[in-house]
C-alpha cells in the first residue's frame, strides 16, 4: 500500500470538494461546541456541589466533666474512624471567642459564667461527604463516652445527594443524545463528500483497487476534518468563555472556569468524531465493513 498516495488523496478533498469539506468541518465544530459547552458546565456544576460538601462538618460537644486529657483521647478515637480526615479541638474559651465574632456579644458580659461546652470539629474525608456515610460516622461518634451531642448539616447533605443524583442522570442522558447525534450528523455530512467521489470509487473498483486502498484516504480525510473542527471549536470556546468571565457576576464565575487541558480534549474528541464519521460513512456507502487487505 502506497502511504504517500493515501495521504495525498486524503488531503485532496480539500481542493476537489471544498463545499462538502467545509460543511463537514462546520458540522464537527458545531457538534463539539455543543458537547464541550455542556461538559464544561457539567464539570463546573459538580465542582460547585463538591465545594458545598466540603463545607459540611460535624461538631461533637463534650460533657463538662471531660478533662483535657480525656478530650484528647476522644479526639484520637474519632480521628481513627474511617472517613474522618482530621479533628480539631475547640476549648470553652475558644467557643466564647467564636460566639463573640459571630454574634458581637461577649458571653462573659451576658452571663456570669461560660455555658458553652468544649467541642470537637470533625472534618470528613472526600467520598464520605454524603448523607448515608456521614450518618454512619455520626452514629459512631454519638456512642463515644463523654460526647453529649453531635450536630451536622444532615438536611443539606440529603438535598445535595438528591440533586446530584438527578443532575447526573439528566446530564448523562443529554450528553449521550448530543454525542450520538453528533456522530451521525458528522457521518452523514462526510457521506456527501464520499458520494461526490462515487465515479472515482467505481473506477478504482473496476481496475482492481483493494477495499483498504479505497477507504483509507477517506479515513484520513475524516480525521483531518475532525482535527480542524476541534481546533476551531477550541478557539471559539476559549474566546467565548474568556469574554463571559470578564462580565459575569462573581457567583457565576465558578461555572465558567475552563481547565486548559479541556481544549486539548476538544481537539482529540474532534479527531475521534471525524474518524468515526468517516468509518460509518464508508461502511454504509461503499459496502462491507472496513478491513485491511
Residue-wise pLDDT tens digits, 198-242: 777 777 777 776 777 777 777 787 788 888 888 999 999 888 888
Residue 291 lies in a domain: no
Q: pLDDT band for position 253 (50/70/90)? A: low
199: cell is 465515479
Distance CA 54, CA 124 (A): 8
Domain range for 237 = 3-51+160-285
Q: 260 in helix, strand or coil? A: helix
231: cell is 481546533
The backbone torsions φ and ψ at residue 256, rounded to the nearest 5 degrees and listed phi first, read -115, 5
Question: What is the CATH classification number for the domain harbouring 103?
Answer: 3.30.70.3040
Helices vs. strands in the chain: H and E counts, helices first = 10, 4
Q: What integer best gives the mean pLDDT of the chain?
A: 78
Q: 168 with 281, same domain? A: yes
Domain boundary among 133, 152, 171: 152
Residue-wise pLDDT tens digits, 99-109: 777 766 666 66
User: Nearest-5° angle of CA 4, CA 8, CA 11?
Assistant: 145
User: Which pLDDT score is estimated for 42?
Assistant: 79
Q: 127 with 213, same domain? A: no
User: Which pLDDT score is estimated for 291?
Assistant: 39
Kindly give the interhelix angle for 18-54 and 211-247, rounded to the nearest 10 degrees. Answer: 50
Answer whether 183's CB lies under 8 Å from 280's CB. yes
Distance CA 32, CA 82 (A): 42
**pTM for the predicted model, two decimal places:** 0.62
Domain boundary among 108, 128, 152: 152
Measured in residues, the chain has a length of 293
Residue 290 lies in a domain: no
Strand partners, 123: 57, 86
Residue 23 lies in a domain: yes
Residue 166 lies in a domain: yes
Domain count, the chain: 2
Residue-wise pLDDT tens digits, 124-156: 988 888 888 899 999 999 888 888 889 888 888
Domain boundary among 152, 170, 189: 152
From residue 45, give the alpha-carbon distance in Å to each of 160, 165, 216, 237, 255: 12, 13, 41, 18, 6
Q: 214 with 241, same domain? A: yes
Amino acid at each position: 500500500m502506497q502511504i504517500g498516495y493515501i495521504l495525498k488523496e486524503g488531503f485532496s478533498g480539500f481542493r476537489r470538494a471544498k463545499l462538502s469539506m467545509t460543511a463537514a468541518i462546520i458540522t464537527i465544530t458545531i457538534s463539539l461546541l455543543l458537547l464541550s459547552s455542556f461538559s464544561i458546565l457539567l464539570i463546573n456544576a459538580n465542582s460547585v456541589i463538591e465545594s458545598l460538601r466540603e463545607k459540611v462538618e460535624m461538631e461533637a460537644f463534650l460533657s463538662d466533666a471531660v478533662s483535657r486529657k480525656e478530650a484528647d483521647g476522644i479526639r484520637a478515637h474519632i480521628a481513627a474512624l474511617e472517613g474522618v480526615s482530621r479533628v480539631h479541638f475547640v476549648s470553652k474559651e475558644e467557643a466564647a471567642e467564636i460566639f463573640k465574632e459571630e454574634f458581637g456579644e461577649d458571653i462573659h458580659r451576658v452571663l456570669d459564667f461560660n455555658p458553652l461546652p468544649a467541642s470537637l470539629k470533625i472534618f470528613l474525608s472526600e467520598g464520605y461527604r454524603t448523607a448515608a456515610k456521614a450518618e454512619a460516622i455520626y452514629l459512631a461518634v454519638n456512642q463515644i463516652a463523654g460526647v453529649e451531642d453531635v450536630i451536622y448539616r444532615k438536611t443539606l447533605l440529603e438535598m445535595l445527594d438528591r440533586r446530584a443524583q438527578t443532575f447526573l442522570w439528566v446530564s448523562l442522558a443529554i450528553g449521550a443524545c448530543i454525542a450520538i447525534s453528533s456522530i451521525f450528523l458528522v457521518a452523514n455530512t462526510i457521506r456527501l463528500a464520499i458520494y461526490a467521489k462515487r465515479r472515482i470509487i467505481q473506477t478504482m473498483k473496476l481496475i482492481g483497487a483493494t477495499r483498504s486502498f479505497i477507504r483509507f484516504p477517506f479515513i484520513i480525510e475524516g480525521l483531518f476534518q475532525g482535527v480542524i473542527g476541534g481546533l476551531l471549536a477550541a478557539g471559539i470556546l476559549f474566546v467565548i468563555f474568556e469574554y463571559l468571565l470578564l462580565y459575569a457576576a462573581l457567583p457565576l464565575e465558578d461555572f465558567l472556569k475552563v481547565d486548559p487541558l479541556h481544549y486539548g480534549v476538544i481537539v482529540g474528541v474532534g479527531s475521534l468524531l471525524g474518524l468515526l464519521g468517516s468509518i460509518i460513512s464508508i461502511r454504509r456507502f461503499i459496502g462491507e465493513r472496513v478491513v485491511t487487505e
